[in-house]
Structure 1
């Protein structure tokens, strides 16, 4: 039974999964649009939307938490200086996931995840 199970394991051990999500989040913040599998995009959306909400608050504590989650100075700076003001009046829903067909190599369903304007 999967009652109250909240996280997708993505077929990876915990450390690898956290590292992969961190790298995907950094790429999304820096590029504002990436292509990945549908499952990864849906899990990444949860992480990035929480980080943007933290950045909107803008306190020192929030900055430290976001910096610890991303572990990348450039991405943290962009999140607080560019993205947080862009979404200041938006109450949520900062990302969009659009399905993009199957990957040619293994047939995995892919999706484009992007930050909305």
Structure 2
């Protein structure tokens, strides 16, 4: 019988699973779309929905609970200020899983998990903008050489 077997173990210890979940939640909140394996995406989806629902409540207790789950102030602030406002009219179903084929090395099923109505520019958070002045100086160096 399957009584009391609610979560997938993902072949990891409980500490590793907890750290994996926290890191994936922070990445999903930061970039609003991540690519991972299908079992990990299915493991992450209900937790992400619970985090957004928690962020919609405006109390000190929910802020502390967000901080304890995410352990990242920027992610917690984004949930409270941006994502909760975006989904205030929606009752659940904040994320979607899209199957994305199979990984080359081990043929593992891959999936993209993303927020519904996501901000497309959020994926470019860490990318450095090209500086046009720097490009011109490099062109001059190449031209003189």
Once residues 86 and 47 of structure 2 are traced to their aligned partners in structure 1, the CA distance between those partners, rounded to angstroms, is: 18
1:1-117 map, 5 Å: 1-117=1-117
Q: Please report how far the alpha carbon of residue 45 of structure 1 lies from its aligned counterpart in structure 2 after TM superposition.
A: 0.4
**SS of the residue aligned with 1:101?**
strand
Larger radius of gyration: 2
Once residues 105 and 67 of structure 1 are traced to their aligned partners in structure 2, the CA distance between those partners, rounded to angstroms, is: 36
Once residues 60 and 85 of structure 1 are traced to their aligned partners in structure 2, the CA distance between those partners, rounded to angstroms, is: 17
Q: What is the number of residues matched between the two proteins?
A: 117
Once residues 92 and 47 of structure 2 are traced to their aligned partners in structure 1, the CA distance between those partners, rounded to angstroms, is: 13
Q: Please report how far the alpha carbon of residue 4 of structure 1 lies from its aligned counterpart in structure 2 after TM superposition.
A: 3.5
Q: Please report how far the alpha carbon of residue 30 of structure 1 lies from its aligned counterpart in structure 2 after TM superposition.
A: 0.4
Q: What do you get for the CA RMSD once the two structures are aligned?
A: 0.7
Structure 2: 5+ residue stretches without partners:
118-145
**TM-score scaled by structure 2?**
0.79
Q: Please report how far the alpha carbon of residue 59 of structure 1 lies from its aligned counterpart in structure 2 after TM superposition.
A: 1.0
Q: Please report how far the alpha carbon of residue 2 of structure 1 lies from its aligned counterpart in structure 2 after TM superposition.
A: 1.7
Runs of 4+ in structure 1 off by over 2 angstroms are none
Once residues 69 and 58 of structure 2 are traced to their aligned partners in structure 1, the CA distance between those partners, rounded to angstroms, is: 15
Q: Please report how far the alpha carbon of residue 18 of structure 1 lies from its aligned counterpart in structure 2 after TM superposition.
A: 0.3
